[in-house]
Amino acid sequence: MSGAPEKKRARQQEKAVQPEIKIVEMTRDLLKFRLAGVDVSIANSLRRAMMAEVPVLAVEFVQIEENSTPIFDEFLAHRIGLVPLWSKAVDQYSFKRDCQCPSGACQYCTARFRIDVVAHGDGRTRVTGMDMEPMTDFSRLGDDHLAVKACPLPEERLSRSENELNAVSIVDMKKNQALRLTCEAKKGIGRMHAKFNPTATTVFAYEADIRIDEDLEQRLSDDDRLKVVESCPKAVFDIEEAAGAIRVAQPGMCTFCDECVLASDEVGAPGLVTITTVPNTFLFTVEGVGSRPTKDIFLAACKVLQEKFQSLDKELDYFLEEEQKEEGLHGA
């Protein structure tokens, strides 16, 4: 009868396999990587953690002083809540439920903004995220994060009018219309509300293992080869200039549509192309909304999963210890 220590060692041996991650492309707002050595449950847990467990700042409370715009107050507050806020320093903020401040809106749990715009010109006046002026002192966040701003962040080399073209639009106003309000941003996660989701797209796909039967391929005419190559809507295949043979040029673009397999049947070469999935290997694409760099989103999600697994490990240890005690009592 095995005890808790033996069961724990067996569990640790099962955890010995380490996943492999290869970065394919990484920018501030886009991350593509290859994850190998895990099953689909772990891959999906990582995907869900990036969407629902990574904290960011978003506007929670809006106090409107004057609103003569075409949009009523509730819809306006909803729009402001969906404006992404630069949240790279979000770990220096506390969740509202954890902060002990008496006001419920101190600098350690809240970032405050003000919008004060009056349309004076005859044309259209556009209120954007750039009009959200910070009211909070952000000096404690350090030299790299002097302020929390609406995203996309203004570029210093561009003028205000050029930056406004890329800014998040809140409302358009005509002459003599005004918008005056204050708002408070809080720390949250996507599980609480979609506005706290730091990603726009977070998907993974199976990696394709594409094989071409060389014997069948050699029997094809040039026209038939071209027909097979052009059947793929993602340009996975091309033709080698020297040998004139079909080759797999971009396996990562395969969507398993099987158009190449159908084309092989049409040219009289069934079995020319075989497509299967690489076991336990996934291709991820993560697009950020701008609130956090995609690298930070990924690392934060890994940290969340690590903490969850550690908590689960402690619970299993406790369960095995209790089970061992019961076995000892029955044995006695």
pLDDT score of 332 more than 60: no
- Asked if the bond preceding 55 is cis, omega within 30° of 0, the reply is no
What does the alpha-carbon distance between residue 41 and residue 78 come to, in Å, rounded to a whole number? 34
Percent of the chain with pLDDT over 70: 92
Query: How many residues in total does the chain contain?
Result: 332
Q: Note the pLDDT of residue 165.
A: 85
- Residue 131 sits at the vertex; the CA angle it makes with 174 and 179, to the nearest 5 degrees, is 45
In 230-325 the beta strands, taken as DSSP E runs, fall at: 237-239, 246-248, 273-288
DSSP state for residue 215 in the 8-state scheme: H
Tell if the pTM clears 0.85, that is, is over it.
no
Mean pLDDT of the residues in the chain? 89
Confidence of residue 10 (pLDDT cuts 50, 70, 90): low
Residue 3 DSSP code: -
* pLDDT, tens only, 56-115: 999 999 999 999 999 999 999 999 999 999 998 899 999 998 998 888 789 899 999 999
Domains of the chain listed by start with CATH number:
4-52+284-331 (3.30.1360.10), 56-194 (2.170.120.12), 214-271 (3.30.70.20)
Average pLDDT (236-254) is 89
Q: Which of 80, 185, 182 is nearest to 138 (CA)?
A: 185
Mean pLDDT, residues 183-206 taken together: 95
| Alpha-carbon distance values, 128 to 138, 153, 174, 279 (Å) | 21, 12, 15, 47
Predicted confidence (pLDDT) at residue 212 exceeds the cutoff of 80: yes
Answer yes or no: are the C-beta atoms of 32 and 250 closer than 8 Å: no
**Residue 1: pLDDT above 50?**
no
231-259 mean pLDDT: 91
CA distance 274 to 250: 15
Distance CA 261, CA 258 (A): 5
